[in-house]
Structure 1
């Protein structure tokens, strides 16, 4: 039986709003979060956006841990500090001082932390048999949905990736097979930058379209 195809269609105006939200999404750090709790309706709307993300084989391979407890946040923050100190030597000398000074997380300041895990399926998943990593990509799609929904609600969201994922998993008592994909900080903010902060600080430059969008391949012949 063929599924009905009477889903909602959107106007150009609505498409423009979505494009504007995408362009103005920002990674929010701890020095931007306000000491103001999030309403439960806001949290549930962000989580609902995550649950409506696309996933390979409709596997929905995600689990989310909502963290408000100060002691748990502190334990995760300590993991962040250890990893940041370990990684500073990886950067060139002219960037090490900037790296040390950057505020790269909001673990303690944000009223809500969310740990996002990939939960592998116990059996084969449609569409994942040749590329196992697409299960992880599905979880990242959920994170992007959360980020865009938060931005549409004028809520700040920051992704903390300078963490030992296995250590954080142990802090949270995660099942051994689960894999931490993202650690997010969510909360009201005092404002959003007009450009990504690292672009404003000239840490990196935005890549040009012609440098990353290719037509028909990389210029090599068919194999």
Structure 2
């Protein structure tokens, strides 16, 4: 252990919040206090970003009609996804894939317009802007779990349709609809595992040494 390490209790808390983070779909209504929401968004804004470009933009959806409009877009994509899944479509339709109408707060995480100007760190890997936004979302997710709030990342929507609904400028792109708020309980394991949809793979299968596919 180095002299820069946190205390044992602090490290345990960090690993606990990582291990107990869940992609939540069931919410208990309620509210998120403004100062708490500000604290969570500040955690998101402290995420690393390539070239310190901070490509993220967060839209708080407080208008009930907009929330319903987003819910309709998600439902339309849910139907299309079920069709694309073929024989698994019926099982997919039984899954709860979002909590848009039940969560206390609804956020849309988006990539800013004008990203092409930023080449620092993106000349060979332009998708690093998306990676940076994902880091901000993860910060928000972990901070929410530490505060006892659930969060769910919804990706079932047409980005162009959602951008138009929210009046986003050309070049900006919505990446995630984030449902946030109090929950009755956290899932004991990822919901897709509990529903029998899939199983997470063990770390040993995902780590290679020196060459792709070779394990130490």
Aligned residues of 2:23 and 2:153 also touching (Cα < 8 A): yes
Aligned length: 210
Aligned residues of 1:68 and 1:111 also touching (Cα < 8 A): no
Give the secondary structure class of the aligned counterpart of 1:192: coil
| Mean Cα deviation higher: 117-126 or 178-187 | 117-126
Which residue, 194, 204, 214 being the options, matches 2:198?
Answer: 204
Partner of 1:104: 97
Q: Distance in 1 between matches of 2:86 and 2:165?
A: 32
Give the secondary structure class of the aligned counterpart of 2:28: coil
Which residue, 164, 168, 171 being the options, matches 2:158?
Answer: 164
With structure 1 as the length reference, what TM-score do the two structures score? Answer: 0.90
Partner of 1:37: 31
CA RMSD between the two structures: 1.5
Give the secondary structure class of the aligned counterpart of 1:66: strand
Aligned residues of 2:81 and 2:89 also touching (Cα < 8 A): no
Give the secondary structure class of the aligned counterpart of 1:181: strand
Partner of 2:85: 91
Cα displacement string for residues 33-92 of structure 1 (whole angstroms, at most 9, x for unaligned residues): 112111011101110111000000111111110012110010111111111111112224
| Mean Cα deviation higher: 112-121 or 76-85 | 112-121
- 2:111 paired with 1:115: no
Cα displacement string for residues 175-199 of structure 1 (whole angstroms, at most 9, x for unaligned residues): 1110111110111110101101111
Q: CA deviation at 1:172?
A: 0.7
Equivalent runs, 1:1-223 vs 2, <5 Å: 9-29=5-25, 32-93=26-87, 95-119=88-112, 120-121=114-115, 123-218=117-212
Aligned residues of 2:54 and 2:132 also touching (Cα < 8 A): yes
Q: Distance in 1 between matches of 2:148 and 2:181?
A: 9
With structure 2 as the length reference, what TM-score do the two structures score? Answer: 0.92
Q: Distance in 2 between matches of 1:219 and 1:130?
A: 24
Q: CA deviation at 1:167?
A: 0.7
Q: Distance in 2 between matches of 1:175 and 1:16?
A: 43
